[in-house]
Amino acid sequence: MTDALSQRLVPDELWALVAPLVPQFTPRRQGGGTTPVDDRAVFTAIVFVLTSGCAWRHLPPSFGVTVPTAHRRFTEWTKAGLWPRVHRAVLDELGGQGLIDWSRVVVDAAAVRAKKGDR
C-alpha cells in the first residue's frame, strides 16, 4: 500500500481517521474462501472508483482487490453507514484545525407546494 497513487488517494492521516470507523469484517456464512483483504486496500480501491468515475469492472488489479470484493465491501459499508461517519470525521478534523472556510458554504434546499387541507 505504498505506491504513489494509493498514498495520494488515502494518505496516512485520512486512514487514521477512517480505520476506527470501518466495520469489522465478518466471513461469509458458507465458510471457506480466502483470507480477508486488507481494509485499507479495499477503501483505497473504492475511493479510486468513486473519484475517478471508473466503472467497477475496470478497477485496476494494482490495488490488490478484486472487483467483487471491492463492490461487496462498498455495499456492506454503505448499509452500515460508513460514508456519513467518514464525512463527519473529516469535517470534525478539518474544523478542529480551523481549515474550513465557512464563508463559502453552499446550502441546497427544495421547496414543495403543500397539498390543500394539510396544515
For residue 90, what are the CA distances in angstroms to 43, 70, 87?
Answer: 15, 22, 5
Cell numbers for 74: 462498498
Quick check: 114 pLDDT over 50?
Answer: yes
- Residue 113: the pLDDT is 83
Choose between 105 and 46: higher pLDDT.
46
Quick check: 116 pLDDT over 90?
Answer: no
pLDDT tens, residue by residue, 61-97: 999 999 999 999 999 999 999 999 999 999 999 999 9
Quick check: 118 pLDDT over 60?
Answer: no
